[in-house]
Structure 1
Amino acid sequence: MLRILLPIVLFFTSLILSAQQSIMGQVVDSSNQPLEAVYVYWDSNYAGAVTNSDGKFQLEIPAEADSLTFDQYEFELKKVSVKDFHANPIVQLKDYIIELNEALVLSKKSDEILKDVLKASKMKLNKSLLVHTFYREFISVNNEFTTYSDGLLDYFIKRNSGKSDLFVKQSRHFQLKTKEESEELISLSISSPFDIRDALGNAFDFESIEKLLKEKNHYSFQISEFSDSEGKTIRKITISPKEGVKELLMEGVILYDEETNLILDYNLKVSPETIPYSKLHNFVIAKIKINDLNVHYNFRLDEGKYRLVFRRVHQDFYIKSGKKIDDSFQFTSDFVVLDYKENEQPPVEFKKYRNRNLFEAGTNYTEEYWKSINAITPTQKEQDLIDTLQKN
């Protein structure tokens, strides 16, 4: 009898251990304002979720998970038991006290320090990696949604160059435009600055920061610091345009670990005061002007391993092409890293993806991956769009 019962007991035990529970909630600051881009996870060895612009998130966790961790570098790390979270799904984070820049004694100029930090980060990330991601993108015309796509994407990072090859494993695509209008959009996207193939490669070569350093005479760099929950010193570089420079410039914050000189997070956007200086540029089949741009990358240093966690980019362009297109286009793309493997070869079962946008891959999936992977929770407006598209 024991021999019969033991396999049955083991079977049901495995079912219990593999059972999942769905966690939904919101993260706010001390003023109860929503916090975007907070990383939420139940175990640092597993992929988590990233809060959206409403501070909301959804995450699938094992039934046996006993706590959640809420991590955003400028706020105190917070762990909450799953039981307490079910009782109150709104989590408030407390921000660190930032020391004044004048209190720091620095041996180099701020931009020179940033250059050293950039070099150290590149060297640490520059290795052969196969990175598994959940990716999504929204395309809007004049702030009205037209296209949504998401998928499971693999990026193969080349050891020496840091450049990446893209492989689309599964994907789905929805559109509101007619076939004729969509073909026009696809044709236009070939000449647009939006390119999914560079999405992860740009993270590994820190393109946005490199551009800032090339134009360093146009910017002011200020450094402050604070100690995180583990006592580590985190330095914050605040970047802003210098007064009197009449060009389209960025502003934002770069956080780095003072001991390792590794970039932990950077969030850069077009400075609103400089938008009037944006110029029209000629591309192959269109004239394009930047209306807005925001790039946000987040990294983690866990047990000596330096890894990318998520990327979020929003781009707004005015595009003029012939007589049909005289509009503003919004491209929003996000991905969260689900897993990565070192010293791997690119997947041989998939062809290298050569298109600029994911919507060109169409709908091609073998499982409903979006139901089990909630790495990026849509906002209510985005979810309404997805629900509408799914019904059509």
Structure 2
Amino acid sequence: MKKFEAILNGKAHLVILLFSFLFVSMQSFAFQPSDIKYVEYKGEVVNARNGRPISSAYLALNNSNISTITNSDGEFSLKVPEDLTEATVTISVLGFQSKTLPLSYFQSANTRIELDETVEELSEVSLYKATNPELLVKEMLSKKDENYLTDQSLMTGFYRETIKKGWSNVSLSEAVVKIFKNPYNSYKRDMVSLYKARKSTDYNKLDTLALKLRGGPYNTLYLDMMKYTEYVLRPGMVESYEFKFDDPAKINDRYTYVVEFKEIDESDPWYYGKLFIDAETSTLVKAEYSLNVDNRDAAEAMFVKKKPNGSKVYPTELNYQVDYAQDDGKWHYAYGKAQMEYVVNWKRKIFNSKYKIDSEMVVTDYEEYVSDDWKKTVDLINPNIVMVDDVSGFADSEFWGSNNIIEPDKSIQNAIDKINRKND
């Protein structure tokens, strides 16, 4: 299975475990509230031309490590210490001009931020010197130690995982996590502690199958392509890809090369996508990529570890995204998203069951952390963790404390309300 053996050993991707019985393990995690008082601002980010919502727009509180991201409806929730009244917030997303606004512009609800589309013609900018996309990718990989964090840090993140059967939401898991992030020039893996989690699942719609995701928050953390280069763009295997330039782009007011890549060998599931590389520093600032799983037998062997008799289970679509943020000239993982669709085909049933799994994590704060004491005071989760049911999570009005979260999508919120009414 060539490259996929390394991928599976590293647990970089979702692996489905399907059982004919239900099993959910219970765990408890400590949550430590802060004495700092916060002010919450809510609103939406939209296209100035047509008013359509902009998803995955990044909101960063300047001169701090606080940030959040909009959901698929363009909505956001941003919590800021109440003493930072003179702060400014920068809003940025690919394809739109960045905007910086004073905090006084934001309201507790219904804040509307309009972004203009990027219309600047970038292909003729003299800054672009690279002519060979493969050499540019090699330079990007060789500058990892120079461009990314070289100190260990402690990050706060928000993780969400949703499961849909057809068009219906059947499961939602959310968590506030702490990430012990090792330097990019270190081979040590990152570690995660789950501070607080909540989950609501309608098991009656899961075909009496317990669906477990191996990895939980690690699924999105392992998308950090520059930390875990062994999973996709391993330096020694760059020659196994085809590269070509797409039209250049502008991200956070910085010019970027856009490099399309595709694996040459298509006998097994193969990667393809786009790399957004900073033109001045050769830093990877964003990646959007997919795994082609047209070969169903190979995909099933790769992802499905166990299944009930009389069924065939295989993924049909796998899409990934990773975004990086810069602080004091160094870049770090800021956002990861994985989307997976798969089919359960029963021999004695006329219709297939189709599932869609979305998981995403945004880093909302981070700080340098030179000590190892933190690892001794918390319960680190295993990369194989299953997101557990927390029956009190949705009823806890103080659940999130001061943590910035991804504002729930309308469809997700409706699913939560329906499941809660059913459980009352």
TM-score normalised by length of structure 1: 0.76
TM-superposed CA distance for 1:137, in Å, is 0.9
Q: Structure 1's 47 and 100: CA in aligned 2 closer, same or farther, altered over 3 A?
A: same
Match of 2:168 in 1: 144
Contact in 1 for aligned 2:177/2:193 (Cα 8 Å): yes
Segments of structure 1 that go 5 or more residues without pairing to the other structure are 1-14
1:342 corresponds, among 369, 374, 391, to 369
3-state SS of paired residue (1:238):
strand
Correspondences of 1:193-272 after superposition (within 5 Å):
195-203=216-224, 204-206=227-229, 209-210=232-233, 214=237, 219-225=242-248, 232-239=254-261, 249-269=270-290
Contact in 1 for aligned 2:220/2:337 (Cα 8 Å): no
Match of 2:55 in 1: 36
Match of 2:70 in 1: 51
Q: Residues of 1 paired with 2:333 and 2:402: CA distance?
A: 21
Contact in 1 for aligned 2:138/2:235 (Cα 8 Å): no
Q: Structure 1's 239 and 378: CA in aligned 2 closer, same or farther, altered over 3 A?
A: farther
Q: Residues of 2 paired with 1:307 and 1:137: CA distance?
A: 22
Match of 1:70 in 2: 91
Q: Residues of 1 paired with 2:79 and 2:182: CA distance?
A: 32
* Structure 2 counterpart of 1:369, one-letter code: F
Match of 2:380 in 1: 352
Q: Residues of 1 paired with 2:38 and 2:191: CA distance?
A: 35
1:291 corresponds, among 316, 331, 334, to 316
Identity of aligned residues (%): 16
TM-superposed CA distance for 1:255, in Å, is 1.6
TM-superposed CA distance for 1:350, in Å, is 2.4
The aligned length equals 367
* Structure 2 counterpart of 1:316, one-letter code: E
TM-superposed CA distance for 1:23, in Å, is 2.5
Contact in 2 for aligned 1:132/1:154 (Cα 8 Å): yes
Correspondences of 1:13-162 after superposition (within 5 Å):
18=37, 20-28=39-47, 30-62=49-81, 64-65=85-86, 67-82=88-103, 84=105, 89-95=112-118, 97-100=120-123, 109-121=132-144, 124-125=148-149, 127-159=151-183, 160-162=186-188
> After alignment, is 329-338 or 195-204 more displaced?
195-204
> After alignment, is 146-155 or 349-358 more displaced?
349-358
Contact in 2 for aligned 1:96/1:228 (Cα 8 Å): no
Match of 2:412 in 1: 382
Q: Residues of 2 paired with 1:298 and 1:40: CA distance?
A: 13
Contact in 1 for aligned 2:335/2:363 (Cα 8 Å): yes
Q: Residues of 1 paired with 2:290 and 2:235: CA distance?
A: 12
Q: Residues of 1 paired with 2:189 and 2:228: CA distance?
A: 8
Segments of structure 2 that go 5 or more residues without pairing to the other structure are 1-34
3-state SS of paired residue (2:120):
coil
Q: Residues of 1 paired with 2:305 and 2:38: CA distance?
A: 52
Q: Residues of 1 paired with 2:194 and 2:273: CA distance?
A: 32
TM-superposed CA distance for 1:21, in Å, is 4.1
Larger fraction in helix? 1
Q: Structure 1's 107 and 129: CA in aligned 2 closer, same or farther, altered over 3 A?
A: same
3-state SS of paired residue (1:387):
helix
Contact in 1 for aligned 2:220/2:360 (Cα 8 Å): no
1:300 corresponds, among 305, 320, 325, to 325
TM-superposed CA distance for 1:330, in Å, is 2.0
TM-superposed CA distance for 1:168, in Å, is 1.3
Match of 2:334 in 1: 309
Q: Write out per-residue CA displacement over residues 316-365 of structure 1, whole angstroms, 9 at most, x where no aligned residue.
A: 12346998996333221111112233334243232222363552364577
3-state SS of paired residue (2:415):
helix
3-state SS of paired residue (1:199):
helix
Q: Residues of 2 paired with 1:104 and 1:19: CA distance?
A: 42
Q: Residues of 1 paired with 2:338 and 2:168: CA distance?
A: 18
* Structure 2 counterpart of 1:154, one-letter code: K
Match of 1:9 in 2: none
Give the superposed CA RMSD: 4.0
Contact in 1 for aligned 2:257/2:278 (Cα 8 Å): yes
